[in-house]
């Protein structure tokens, strides 16, 4: 095995090298992302209009596109020290197996009990809720990673945590639910009879197994109507991307320590927060003209917001209670086939990433799920980490790029985000092993029908 | 929060500080553990008698009680680098929550896909099998951690892997099975119709859900009767304890780095290999009279080999095909109630640890499973790691000792082994949450009946 003698398999920063501040990518953008709009008036949302839904400090972070750095409070840094800095791994074994001259690194965010990067923002959001003197928070969860992370964070700060879990996940992933209960959260399958929007959806679609957009609507309604509660969200929002910048900051610090400059940076894209977090400081350099990188967002072919969506104002949720956001979207009514195994099933995309993609600052590709699971299993066997289906979208494209290097002989440096582990996704792996997994790709007609329902803007 | 400013939350050794050799505790014992005996002749087993069952180099390690250090081959060290050095964690949050002056550390072995320390020996055993030019290995697995670890190791070296999984686990843990399949292993529920011993047990006990002792017999029979195959075992044997010494060597190196000397060292005890691995170098110092430590083995009240067993020669398996070992045992026919959730259900104990316990060099306590799960949940909420039920036995006693320090005001340093994660044990957690978990403790009569069946020795 050929090795750069100086670079270890795993680069761990020291605890005192943990970033002291989150990086707000928007500060370095000349053309800022479009503002959130009030769904009734179509006017930009003001902080006071959001304060019934979100925590005050989080609203400030959400609306601020000028401040480049937000100091990470000490209490949050103390919690981060329980599982961070996360390792940046040099994939020596994968490189050797592929026979590629490319140098491959991945930032591994799965070494914590929630199993993913979601904890980075969950602990921040729980902290600000606690600071504000709130009793609890509500949220939705699909695959369950966000709900688990938030349960852990709330347990740490002694906050109530009420999770609306998309019904099909609730039924297929009883163990996910049980981890949340271990952390003291209450978990309700969505749609439920606990909210008006849930009742309405159940009346219109009896027997529905739910969707993320619908669970969001329920969680927001519950928060707004319960004294001392606010709603928190695990992706899509700019505040979440801000917290997730810790991924990119650590990655950059680890690479800088060894004088490594990446050529290609790859992340999977659902709502966009892990991708935005990973690429943040690199994109910042690119925006400031200090460096150039190829940045690739990877999304499922079954839910292709970037590659087949439109850039337009749309609702963030099915119940249309949330602000309008300008983003790449498939339409808020779009629900990917239940056949789709991974998360990454959100109809839209973070507004900052959408604007950057629109400006041509990054690329996007979509991949089929059987190709994704093939890459997942290959990676598991070689690198010894069982990846989450979501993360495996990035693995797929990292392997593809490394194979291109093999053909061209180029020694490119590839960095990708390994956002989490697949321990709770074994049903999907089983389907794959048994040859029962198929690929769903929405037709143009399906998408056109969905686009037709986008809100009409002046 | 009061903190020793110099000691981080997680102590990671550098890659170049990874131990270069395993430590063989027996070399420092004046009174050696009793030898393995041939079950027919009751004469000490010779290497050639074992060579149909085990790999040659592993037999050499098994029988050698003089060599203190065995060099770790480079290929194994390369694999170790994928997930080692494992962190030694200072449990600041737990200390604060308990309000104890005790300083608590735990060595966390769960940060790899197999979820436990088992990988440390699996990769070594697979390596020696490959070196010997074998085609594959057979083994048994109970809770599934060992089977998963061995699957990963075999996949890495391109060996076939045939796992006999105790039937009740096979049925209750389909996801464990699926992880093994991801790594290309074949998994058979035991008892099966694939072996003579399996057929015999099924004929005598139709509908049995199996036991570890029975799965061992099947795996051994299969290995002996299949060209190019050998049998490998995940605990109990001295070779396994040798490989697991990496846990203790890293722990000691990390503590030494910060000048910390433990007062109490605690590990859970099933077959004994993780415990023996953790305490190895500390016990070595104790044997050589260089230091003194309180060393505590923690076992389940439902399978109390140390605390209620007898020190005698016994069969290692139900089918009585394995050598006789002198050990603390409950009798090879003893099967703990299915109600018992954690692993640690082996009737015997590693012979070296048995001899050390017999010499009074260590203590043992047994704990009830509801107390164990209470500690597990408490720990998960405070330290952010969802522990395996097995590991939680050690957590329980670490907390108990820390609370004694709180009462006495003593600032003792406690180190315990956190051997793995509980992702695949959520059914047991669910039982606990739902108040459906009860405690089983064998009666004296049950144990006496089991002891009566011990082999008669001259």
Q: For the segment A27-51, what is each residue's pLDDT rounded down to a tens digit?
A: 999 999 999 999 999 999 999 999 9
Residue B153 parent element (H or E): helix B145-157
Q: How far is A284 from chain B, CA to nearest CA, in Å?
A: 31
At residue A254, does pLDDT exceed 50?
A: yes
Percent of chain B predicted with pLDDT > 70 = 99
Q: How far is A37 from chain B, CA to nearest CA, in Å?
A: 38
Cβ count within 10 A of residue B278: 32
Residue at token pair 């020793």: B4
- Within 125-184 of B, beta carbons closer than 8 Å to A belong to 152, 155-156, 174-175, 178-179, 181-184
- pLDDT tens readout for residues B275-311: 999 999 999 999 999 999 999 999 999 999 999 999 9
A424 touches chain B (CB under 8 A): yes
CB within 8 Å: A113 and B380: yes
Choice among A214-228, B272-286, B316-330, B429-443 with the minimum mean pLDDT: B316-330
Distance of CA A294 to the CA centre of its chain: 20
**Predicted pLDDT at B142:** 86
Residue in A1, A78, A382 closest to B78 by CB:
A1
Residue in A83, A182, A429 closest to B182 by CB:
A429
- pLDDT tens readout for residues B136-152: 999 999 889 999 999 99
What is the pLDDT confidence band of residue A210, given thresholds at 50, 70 and 90? confident
A219 near A186, Cβ under 8 Å?
no
A423 touches chain B (CB under 8 A): yes
CB within 8 Å: B384 and A424: no
A9 touches chain B (CB under 8 A): yes
B73 touches chain A (CB under 8 A): no
| CA separation for the pair A211, A348 (Å, rounded) | 13
A217 touches chain B (CB under 8 A): no
Mean per-residue pLDDT for B175-198? Answer: 95
Mean pLDDT of chain A: 94
CB within 8 Å: B433 and A181: yes
- pLDDT tens readout for residues A365-407: 999 999 999 999 999 999 999 999 999 999 999 999 999 999 9
SS3 call for A105: strand
Q: How far is B97 from chain A, CA to nearest CA, in Å?
A: 11
In chain B, whose CA is at the least distance from the CA of A158? B381
What is the pLDDT confidence band of residue A1, given thresholds at 50, 70 and 90? very low
Q: How far is B217 from chain A, CA to nearest CA, in Å?
A: 29
| Residues 6 or more apart in contact with residue A138 via CB below 8 angstroms | A162, A163, A164, A219, A220, A222, A223, A226, A229, A230, A231, A232
CB within 8 Å: A384 and B423: no
Residue at token pair 């600052």: A361
Phi and psi, residue B289, nearest 5°: 75, 20
| CA separation for the pair B334, B342 (Å, rounded) | 16
Cβ count within 10 A of residue A65: 16
Biggest CA pair distance of chain A:
64
Q: How far is B156 from chain A, CA to nearest CA, in Å?
A: 7
At residue A26, does pLDDT exceed 90?
A: yes
**Predicted pLDDT at B4:** 54
CB within 8 Å: B113 and A184: no
Mean per-residue pLDDT for B200-219? Answer: 90
**Predicted pLDDT at B80:** 96
Task: Tell me whether residue A167 is exposed, middle or buried, using C-beta atoms within 10 angstroms of its C-beta: 0 to 12, 13 to 18, 19 or more.
Answer: buried
A82 touches chain B (CB under 8 A): yes
CB within 8 Å: B182 and A381: yes
- pLDDT tens readout for residues B225-235: 999 999 999 99
Residue in B82, B182, B423 closest to A383 by CB:
B82
**Predicted pLDDT at B338:** 78
CB within 8 Å: A9 and B15: yes
Most B CBs within 10 A among A2, A104, A384, hence the mutation to make, goes to A384
At residue B6, does pLDDT exceed 90?
A: no
CB within 8 Å: A174 and B429: no
At residue B409, does pLDDT exceed 60?
A: yes
In chain A, whose CA is at the least distance from the CA of B179? A426
| CA separation for the pair B147, A298 (Å, rounded) | 34
CB within 8 Å: B423 and A424: yes
Cis amide leading into A95 (omega within 30)? no
Choice among A328-332, A346-350, A395-399, B140-144 with the minimum mean pLDDT: B140-144
**Predicted pLDDT at A65:** 97
- pLDDT tens readout for residues A308-322: 999 999 998 877 778
CB within 8 Å: B179 and A9: no
- pLDDT tens readout for residues B429-448: 999 999 999 999 999 999 99
ipTM of the complex: 0.93
DSSP B415-442: EEEE-BB-GGGHHHHHHHHTT-------
At residue B408, does pLDDT exceed 50?
A: yes
| CA separation for the pair A322, A302 (Å, rounded) | 24
Residue in B175, B381, B424 closest to A184 by CB:
B381
Helices A369-383, A389-408: axis angle to 10 degrees equals 80
**Predicted pLDDT at B333:** 86
Percent of chain A predicted with pLDDT > 90 = 88
- pLDDT tens readout for residues B54-105: 999 999 999 999 999 999 999 999 999 999 999 999 999 999 999 999 999 9
At residue B1, does pLDDT exceed 60?
A: no
At residue B115, does pLDDT exceed 50?
A: yes
At residue B356, does pLDDT exceed 90?
A: yes
- Measured between beta carbons, the chain A residues lying within 8 angstroms of B424 are 423
- Within 110-129 of B, beta carbons closer than 8 Å to A belong to 111-113, 115
Q: Which of A337, A321, A384 is nearest to A94 (CA)?
A: A384
B427 touches chain A (CB under 8 A): yes
- Measured between beta carbons, the chain B residues lying within 8 angstroms of A433 are 178, 181-182
Q: How far is B231 from chain A, CA to nearest CA, in Å?
A: 22
Mean per-residue pLDDT for A252-278? Answer: 97
**Predicted pLDDT at A5:** 61
B12 touches chain A (CB under 8 A): yes
Q: How far is B82 from chain A, CA to nearest CA, in Å?
A: 6
């Amino acid at each position: 095995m050929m090795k750069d003698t100086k670079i270890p398999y795993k680069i761990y920063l020291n605890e005192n090298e943990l970033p002291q501040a989150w990086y707000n990518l928007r500060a370095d953008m000349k053309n800022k992302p479009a503002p959130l709009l009030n769904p009734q008036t179509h006017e930009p949302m003001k902080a006071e209009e959001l304060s019934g839904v979100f925590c005050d400090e989080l609203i400030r972070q959400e609306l601020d596109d000028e401040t480049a750095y937000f100091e990470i409070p000490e209490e949050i840094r103390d919690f981060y020290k329980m599982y961070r800095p996360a390792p940046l791994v040099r994939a020596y074994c994968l490189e050797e197996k592929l026979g590629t001259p490319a140098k491959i690194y991945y930032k591994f965010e799965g070494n914590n009990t929630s199993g993913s990067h979601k904890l980075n923002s969950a602990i921040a959001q729980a902290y600000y809720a606690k600071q504000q003197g709130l009793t609890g928070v509500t949220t939705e969860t699909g695959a369950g990673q966000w709900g688990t992370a938030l349960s852990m964070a709330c347990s740490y700060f002694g906050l109530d945590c009420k999770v609306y879990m998309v019904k099909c996940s609730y039924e297929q992933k009883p163990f996910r639910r049980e981890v949340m209960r271990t952390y003291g959260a209450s978990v309700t399958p969505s749609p439920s009879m606990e909210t008006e929007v849930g009742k309405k959806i159940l009346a219109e679609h009896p027997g529905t197994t739910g969707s993320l957009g619908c669970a969001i609507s329920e969680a927001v309604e519950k928060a707004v109507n319960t004294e001392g509660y606010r709603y928190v969200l695990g992706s899509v929002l700019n505040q979440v991307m801000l917290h997730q910048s810790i991924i990119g900051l650590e990655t950059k610090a680890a690479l800088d320590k060894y004088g490594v400059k990446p050529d290609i940076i790859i992340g999977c894209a659902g709502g966009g927060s892990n991708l935005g977090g990973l690429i943040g400081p690199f994109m910042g350099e690119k925006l400031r003209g200090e460096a150039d990188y190829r940045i690739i967002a990877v999304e499922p072919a079954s839910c292709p917001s970037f590659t087949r969506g439109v850039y337009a104002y749309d609702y963030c949720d099915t119940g249309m209670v949330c602000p309008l956001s300008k983003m790449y979207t498939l339409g808020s009514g779009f629900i990917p086939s239940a056949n789709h195994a991974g998360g990454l099933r959100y109809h839209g995309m973070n507004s900052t990433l959408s604007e950057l993609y629109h400006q041509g600052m990054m690329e996007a590709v979509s991949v089929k799920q059987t190709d994704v699971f093939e890459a997942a299993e290959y990676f598991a066997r070689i690198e010894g980490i069982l990846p989450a289906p979501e993360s495996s979208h990035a693995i797929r494209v990292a392997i593809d790029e490394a194979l291109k290097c093999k053909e061209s002989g180029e020694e490119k440096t590839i960095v990708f985000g390994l956002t989490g582990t697949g321990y709770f996704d074994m049903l999907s792996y089983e389907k794959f092993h048994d040859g029962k997994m198929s690929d769903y790709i929405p037709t143009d007609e399906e998408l056109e029908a969905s686009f037709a329902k986008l809100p009409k803007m002046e």
